[in-house]
DNA sequence: TTGAAAGCGCTAACAT
DNA sequence: ATGTTAGCGCTTTCAA
């Protein structure tokens, strides 16, 4: 018959009316409940196809009391390190029949809490990546968004937590350079408010204590390509022979600058990054960095989330230990 | 009926009861409707804070008939070119009071349509990035998910469409190499089913016709770093002096390999990419590539979506013309 | 096997 | 200014 061309989408009532059955029957057909006369089921399916009906997930979620969807809030989708974690999380969630919805706050930190709440209120749980959020705000937020797992933040068991041992990791890089004979090392600092930067500082402080003969000097930098690129003058001033960047992105930006300045790596200067983003293997020279099994991190975030949803909340933080991936950008001190 | 959960979240009814007012009043307070006695409003707010209440976005969406949320479905969140588009889309949507939710299908193409439908059924509109979906499937899907805008696909005005002129773009790169004296050019092909790869082929065919003296030879490759990295033997065999990669990621992988093989760029071989991802500026040598105003593309996707939501559907496709960004990886033919 | 009806949590007439 | 009520689109109990 004449297909409705109105603006409104078809609803279950439309299908029920058109097929001459009740809403309950349509619902049963849509959900594959077996107890429906095959002839009627056929008719319903035909009507569904004809009217291009697909059930409102919103109404379904409200009725069921769950959406089978989890939210992920990240500060910047462009950060390659998130991708690997997201990938693991996505795969694991999918395996258990859940959908992952990602919201990018674009470092827009004042609206961050609001975004998190909104996402949480349309999903069953949330994974929170908020490296810059103040601890105060975080702790205020957590009780209102459970089930929740935070990445790389401590919560005093107020929420699930999965973290990477940055302090230990950066220590490994530093010792790697020291073993290569470097005694003057520059650290290209990340954003001062970032927890991951603080952890790295702590790790370097420890190394400094162990090696009084080694100078580790901090250079204010950032977390983007251009920050690394722009750090060269400051680094040159330190006369460091080894450079540890906040992350691979910074290291690669820095490497790009060194190439322009005809500074040889690692002959003149050694450079190391952190995170082992996919590209770090393919830079020239390939980048020495810290690698963590980020896919597993994502998977772990998922299992922690799922446990909470099932009421088996285990709020003991999980710590992942990164490993050194020594490649061509580091060598003996000149 | 909904299954009762053990530790239920506070609802508007709980607040109403606890504050001794009606649900309507709570609703008014939550939505900042002015006509509420300040004293009562205070009491409601106190109760809200005490019980940690925040309204169910699901229920709200159902009642309002809109979620003020749009979905974006992408095949692979790790692709840097999407980020710039997403960023523009995100900013524009936020400006108009909408939230963007991203779902990554992880190239899992059989479940792609299902994902798209599901997302669409919990949002007000959808932006679809599905370069590999067959045209048949796409056309079948479109009528059921309107309002929708597709990226880099034609739909015969069945949906909004925003595209980048890949055929023209790749032509510009090819002519750039030809102008530099290259007469044997290898094209590192993208995934065969990708529409963007087909468009590039078309563009190159056109150049071939214009320049019978120039050989453009296709080399099966892919869209990832490792594909570019692995393409070297095949490229060497072509004896090409200029290489055009499917995209920057492939070009950078290829560049990494050339560096390992001690092939000089651009002295021995010129390399060009496509997309102008942020890193292409910082590679060594910096990468010649095609740049498009991807932020504007994202913004345009948004305005097209919004127009459709307002019923002012303009289904004329918008085409963006990319421009050459000539950098250091291309030079005169040897 | 099928349908009627209640209810998920919220908003918005409409009444008071 | 506040409350009552109907209803958004779905699922599910209960009856038939």
Supply the DSSP string of A10-73, one letter for each residue: P-HHHHHHHHTS-HHHHHHHHTT-S-S-HHHHHHHHHHHHHHT----HHHHHHHHT--SEEEEE
Which protein residue's Cα is closest to nucleotide D14 at C1'?
A: B1
The reply to whether the CB atom of residue A65 sits less than 7 A from any atom in nucleic acid chain D is: no
What tokens were used for A158? 């107020």
Considering only CB atoms, which chain B residues are within 8 Å of A253?
282
Nucleotides of C under 7 A from a protein CB: 1-13
Indicate the DSSP class of residue B34.
Answer: S
Tokens standing for A173?
A: 């890089």
pLDDT in tens, A191-244: 999 999 999 999 999 999 999 999 999 999 999 999 999 999 999 999 999 999
Residue of B nearest to A83 (CA): B78
Closest-approach nucleotide to residue B39, Cα vs C1':
D1
Question: Nearest by CB to B58, which of A67, A102, A225?
Answer: A67
Q: Which nucleotide is closest, CA of A16 to its C1'?
A: C3
Average pLDDT of the residues of chain B: 95
Least trusted range by pLDDT, from A131-135, A209-213, A326-330, B34-38: B34-38
- From B54, B106, B259, residue closest to A87, measured CB to CB: B106
pLDDT, position B109? 82
Task: Determine the average pLDDT of the residues in A20-36.
Answer: 94
Q: Inter-chain contact B282–A122, Cβ cutoff 8 Å?
A: no
Nearest by CB: B2 against A63, A69, A94: A63
Chain A from 76 to 95: CB within 8 A of any B CB: 77-78, 80, 83-84, 86-87, 90-91, 94
What is the predicted pLDDT for the residue at A1? 29
Interface test with A, best of B282, B299, B328 (most A CBs within 10 A): B282
Contact between the CB of B17 and strand D at under 7 Å: no
**Torsion angle, alpha carbons of B217, B222, B223, B229, to 10:** -80
The parts of chain B modelled with pLDDT lower than 50 are: 1-6
Q: How many CA atoms lie within 13 Å of A318's alpha carbon, on the beta-carbon side? A: 19
B282 with A104: Cβ contact below 8 A: no
pLDDT value at residue A6:
44
Residue B58 CA to D16 C1' — how many Å?
34
* Average pLDDT taken over every residue of chain A: 95
Confidence of residue A259 (pLDDT cuts 50, 70, 90): very high
Q: How far apart are the first and last CA of chain B?
A: 75
Which pLDDT score is estimated for B3?
37
- How many Å apart are CA A192 and CA B186, to the nearest integer? 46
Q: Tokens 């796409």 correspond to what residue?
A: B138
A144-157 mean pLDDT: 96
Strand C: list protein residues with Cβ under 7 Å. Answer: A 20-25, 28, 35-37, 40-41, 59, 62-63, 65; B 1-2, 8-9, 11-13, 23-24, 27, 30-31, 53, 55-56, 59-60, 62-64
The pLDDT of residue A108 is 87
Q: Which of B174, B220, B225, B169 has its CA nearest to residue B194?
A: B220
């Amino acid at each position: 018959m004449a297909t409705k061309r109105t603006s409104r989408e078809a609803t279950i009532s439309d299908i029920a009316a058109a097929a001459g059955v009740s809403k309950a029957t349509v619902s049963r057909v849509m959900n594959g409940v077996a107890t429906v006369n095959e002839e009627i089921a056929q008719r319903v399916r035909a009507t569904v196809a004809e009217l291009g009906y697909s059930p409102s997930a919103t109404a379904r979620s409200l009725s069921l009391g769950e959406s089978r969807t989890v939210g992920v809030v990240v500060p910047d989708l462009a950060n390659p390190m998130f991708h690997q974690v997201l990938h693991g999380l996505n795969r694991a969630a999918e395996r258990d029949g859940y959908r992952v919805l990602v919201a990018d706050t674009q470092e827009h930190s004042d609206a961050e809490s609001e975004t998190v709440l909104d996402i949480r209120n349309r999903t069953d749980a949330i994974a929170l990546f908020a490296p810059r959020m103040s601890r105060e705000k975080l702790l205020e937020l957590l009780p209102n968004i459970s089930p929740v797992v935070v990445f790389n933040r401590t919560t005093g068991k107020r929420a699930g937590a999965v973290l990477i041992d940055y302090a230990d990791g950066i220590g490994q890089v530093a010792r790697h350079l020291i073993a290569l004979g470097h005694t003057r090392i520059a650290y290209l600092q990340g954003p001062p408010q970032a927890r991951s930067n603080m952890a790295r500082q702590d790790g370097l402080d420890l190394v400094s204590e162990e090696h009084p003969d080694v100078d580790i000097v901090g250079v204010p930098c950032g977390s983007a390509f251009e920050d690394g690129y722009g750090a060269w003058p400051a680094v040159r001033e330190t006369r460091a022979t080894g450079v540890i960047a906040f992350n691979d992105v910074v290291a690669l930006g820095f490497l790009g600058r060194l190439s322009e300045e005809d500074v040889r790596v690692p002959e003149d200067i050694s450079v190391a990054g952190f995170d082992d983003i996919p590209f770090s293997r393919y830079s020239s020279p390939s980048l020495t960095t810290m690698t963590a099994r980020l896919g597993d991190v994502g998977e772990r975030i998922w299992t922690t989330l799922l446990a909470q949803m099932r009421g088996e909340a285990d709020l003991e933080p999980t710590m992942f230990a990164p490993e050194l991936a020594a490649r061509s950008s580091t060598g003996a001190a000149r």
